[in-house]
Amino acid sequence: MPFERKSTRQIAVGKVLVGGGAPISVQSMTITKTADVEGTLQQIYALAAAGCDIVRCTCNEQAAAEGLAQIVPRSPIPIIADIHHQYRMALAAMEAGVHGLRLNPGNIRKPEHIKAVATEARDRQISIRIGVNGGSLDPSLYEKYGGITPEAMVESAQREMAYFHEVGFDLMKISVKASSVTLMIEAYRQLSEVTDVPLHLGVTEAGPPPAGLVKATAGIATLLMEGIGDTIRYSLTADPVEEARAGRQLLEALGLRERKNIDLIACPSCGRAEIDVIDVANRAMQAFGDRKIPLQVAVMGCVVNGPGEAREADLGIAAGNKRGHLFVKGRNVAVVPESEMVEALVEWAEFIHEHGTEAAIARVDTALAEREAAKDRAKLMNDQGDDVNQADERIVEIRRTVGER
């Protein structure tokens, strides 16, 4: 573990444990009508394949609750029902067999309704997330604190917890989301000081990528690095599969979850690039899709610097003289036509995944591949020289321009 995590209580959402040192889980939410059983299940399967551990479906009407009754037994991952304003929908969702509920204290406000739901959840041992949302804060708290503040959000969660405790229910987790990154960070910090209930992190209404990804990552990663957070959700205005991928990738990047899929790295490209790096990297991402190959794969624009710069990658490819030079752990292993670079990467990745890097290197004549790479490297150096962006000439020109003024 790269940093110490704050210790929290553990609860179960179906088969997924949350808090108490359990791996941080990735959540997402379906955007289908829950009554559309087949469509929703299709999305759930895509989310699970992309690394989603727990999925939330809206339960806003009776038809949705009836849909959940059919979805739950066929879902590969636990289902949480998102309840809006009607507490009866929470009771119906539990009847449908969901593994968890999400209640917004700003929406269901009558104590007797909250307690009725918590009592039923207690009897069925179903967990509930207290999902405080800055945008739908209880008006009395808004008034008390003069707006949406971290303190108001924390008090909202505490009020709800008090109702739960009154009926002896404690299988809860909490979120205090806001669309402002700094506000949500402060709210979670304050909340983690006053409770050991597991926390669900998220920046609400983060918007479409890339801005939404940046905002969500800024908020979630900051807190995770402080040891705060037990489960996360990216709320993006995008295909929910993107949310699941982003969540998974963040946890892998921070060393909080084991790598499951390809980690594709690529050089930023520069004047030396022999290929369209962006295009090749995107095609490689598509070709690997959600395949469970936990390797780091590099796409590098030129054979002059590529293999060296990406020597830590399990596998990589660098362009040179209309050819792709494949390398494994920095060692040149094969040369392929430029048009076959992506296919070659996939084939080698599959081989390494199955047989290991040693076996991959042993199956080829690395000396021959290195000779070919050296040839193309030398040709590029001859053609372009050391200073590929002609910086020296530009500097002389800049000095002349500035000097003339």
Interface ranges with ligand SF4 (CB under 6 A): 267-270, 272-273, 300-302, 304-306, 309
For ligand SF4, the closer of residues 359 and 374 by Cβ is 374
Give the Cα separation of 301 and 317 in Å (integer).
Answer: 8
For ligand SF4, the closer of residues 236 and 318 by Cβ is 318
Query: What's the closest the beta carbon of residue 349 comes to ligand SF4, in angstroms?
Result: 20
Distance, C-alpha 271 to centroid of its chain: 32
Q: What residues have CB less than 8 Å from 218, skipping those under 6 apart?
A: 181, 203
Token readout for 48 is 């699970």
For ligand SF4, the closer of residues 129 and 272 by Cβ is 272
DSSP codes of every residue in 356-384 = -HHHHHHTS-HHHHHHHHHHHHHHHHHHH
Query: What's the closest the beta carbon of residue 96 comes to ligand SF4, in angstroms?
Result: 53
Query: What's the closest the beta carbon of residue 285 comes to ligand SF4, in angstroms?
Result: 17
For ligand SF4, the closer of residues 25 and 269 by Cβ is 269
Token readout for 34 is 């829950």
For ligand SF4, the closer of residues 174 and 303 by Cβ is 303
Helix (H) or strand (E) holding 127, with range, is strand 127-133
Distance, C-alpha 128 to centroid of its chain: 23
Query: What's the closest the beta carbon of residue 310 comes to ligand SF4, in angstroms?
Result: 8
Give the Cα separation of 172 and 151 in Å (integer).
Answer: 20
Residue nearest to ligand SF4 (CB): 301
Give the Cα separation of 66 and 73 in Å (integer).
Answer: 12
Helix (H) or strand (E) holding 201, with range, is strand 200-201
Query: What's the closest the beta carbon of residue 273 comes to ligand SF4, in angstroms?
Result: 4
For ligand SF4, the closer of residues 111 and 308 by Cβ is 308
Query: What's the closest the beta carbon of residue 262 comes to ligand SF4, in angstroms?
Result: 19
